[in-house]
């Protein structure tokens, strides 16, 4: 073999090495990822069926923390923060976790082996998020000059890792609510709305606050309709009460 050729072979082998490592590793699968709201019940499971005739099945929270192990027909639950909150379904291999908390977020591992000792491993990604906290609209300024109403609203949000959008009666505005106020000059056709809503959301929840606009330049925290409704709730029983006396 000439030196050239030998060098070429070596290079080819070095290139192949990672491929070979990958090939021996194909028994690892990342099957699913889920994002849920804290307090929910989840079922971690793989989409494909379990291997036939498996002998042992283990769920791990992290690589060195076992949650439950199923062996020869018996489930053994380990001392972990999951104790009393998990239940293994040996039929499907699903790990049911009740009342999940933010700290339960992890890449869970399920390891299955059969009589020949052949192991397979699945990864299931779980992300637990708290629901967003309600935003509060702050009316920074309302000012009327020369029949132009100038409004400045800001949306106070307690958690920055949310998406925040302003809405009017014709849909969302392009302005984001994070760290910036909504400035309006009414009449300004695109911006005129009977209400202004600030909505915050994360992948699992959404909350909003609304203020109501009355021309020419008044903002109120509740609409007139709501006010009439609450007025009726008080007044009607009072009148009925008086009639009955
Ligand atoms: C979770 O499961 C428990 C027990 O089955 C049940 O009492 C509870 O209402 C469930 N919680 C939710 C959010 O579904
Ligand atoms: C064990 O698993 C391997 C790979 O999944 C499979 O090829 C083999 O047939 C299995 N052996 C038994 C006894 O089920
Ligand atoms: C915010 O919105 C973008 C685009 O819709 C989305 O990719 C992202 O995940 C959202 N972030 C949160 C915290 O909801
Ligand atoms: C605001 O929240 C209420 C319920 O709290 C919901 O009915 C309404 O659709 C939300 N509005 C927007 C613009 O998201």
Domain that holds residue 95: 25-129
d(CA 117, CA 123): 19
Task: State residue 177's pLDDT score.
Answer: 86
**3-state SS, residue 150:** strand
Q: Is 41 in the pocket of ligand 1 (CB under 6 A)?
A: yes
Examine the fold and report which residue of 101, 129, 157 is the final residue of a domain before the chain moves on: 129
> Does 154 fall in a domain?
yes
| Ligand number with the minimum distance to the CA of 96 | 1
Whether residues 147 and 222 fall in one domain: yes
Whether residues 44 and 113 fall in one domain: yes
> Does 89 fall in a domain?
yes
What CATH number does the domain containing 123 carry? 2.60.40.10
d(CA 155, CA 178): 8
Centroid of ligand 1 to alpha carbon of 87 (angstroms): 13
Whether residues 188 and 162 fall in one domain: yes
Whether residues 36 and 98 fall in one domain: yes
The three-state DSSP-derived secondary structure of 55-114 is EEEEEEEECCEEEEEEECCEEEECCCCCCCCEEEECCCCEEEECCCCHHHCEEEEEEEEE
Whether residues 34 and 120 fall in one domain: yes
d(CA 167, CA 181): 13
| Ligand number with the minimum distance to the CA of 210 | 4
> Does 11 fall in a domain?
no
Q: Is 27 in the pocket of ligand 2 (CB under 6 A)?
A: no
Q: Is 40 in the pocket of ligand 1 (CB under 6 A)?
A: yes
Q: Is 56 in the pocket of ligand 2 (CB under 6 A)?
A: no
Q: Is 160 in the pocket of ligand 3 (CB under 6 A)?
A: no
| Residue nearest ligand 1's atom 5 by CA | 98
| Residue nearest ligand 3's atom 14 by CA | 202
Closest CA to 43 of 107, 88, 103, 109: 88
Query: What is the tens place of the pLDDT at every residue in 182-213?
Result: 888 876 656 678 999 999 999 999 999 999 99
Whether residues 91 and 111 fall in one domain: yes
Query: What is the tens place of the pLDDT at every residue in 92-112?
Result: 999 999 999 999 999 999 999
Structural domains of the chain, count: 2
Whether residues 163 and 207 fall in one domain: yes
Whether residues 141 and 223 fall in one domain: yes
Whether residues 69 and 42 fall in one domain: yes
227 vs 75, higher pLDDT: 75
pTM of the entire predicted model: 0.72
Tokens of 138: 């702050």
Whether residues 39 and 73 fall in one domain: yes
Residue 7 host element (H or E): helix 3-24
Examine the fold and report which residue of 74, 104, 129 is the final residue of a domain before the chain moves on: 129
d(CA 179, CA 76): 51
Examine the fold and report which residue of 129, 163, 185 is the final residue of a domain before the chain moves on: 129
Angle of CA points 67, 205, 152, to nearest 5°: 145
């Amino acid at each position: 073999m000439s030196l050239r050729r030998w060098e070429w072979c070596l290079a080819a082998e070095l290139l192949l090495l990672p491929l070979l490592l990958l090939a021996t590793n194909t028994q690892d699968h990342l099957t699913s990822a889920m994002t849920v709201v804290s307090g929910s019940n989840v079922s971690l499971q793989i989409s494909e069926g379990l291997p036939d005739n498996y002998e042992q099945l283990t769920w791990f929270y992290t690589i060195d923390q076992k949650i439950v192990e199923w062996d020869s027909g018996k489930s053994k639950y380990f001392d972990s923060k999951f104790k009393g909150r998990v239940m293994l379904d040996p039929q499907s291999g699903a790990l049911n976790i009740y009342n999940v908390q933010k700290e339960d977020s992890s890449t869970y591992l399920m390891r299955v082996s059969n009589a020949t000792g052949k192991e397979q491993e699945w990864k299931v990604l779980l992300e637990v998020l708290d629901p967003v906290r309600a935003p509060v609209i702050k009316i920074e300024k309302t000012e009327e000059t020369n029949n132009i109403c100038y409004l400045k609203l800001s949306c106070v949000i307690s958690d920055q890792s949310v998406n925040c959008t302003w809405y009017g009666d014709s849909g969302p505005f392009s302005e984001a609510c994070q760290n910036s106020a909504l400035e309006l000059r009414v009449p300004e056709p695109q911006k005129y709305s009977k209400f202004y809503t600030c909505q915050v959301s994360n992948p699992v929840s959404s909350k909003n606050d609304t203020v109501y606009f009355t021309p020419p330049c008044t903002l109120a925290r509740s609409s007139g309709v709501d006010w009439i409704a609450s007025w009726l709730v008080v007044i009607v029983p009072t009148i009925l009460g008086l009639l009955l006396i």
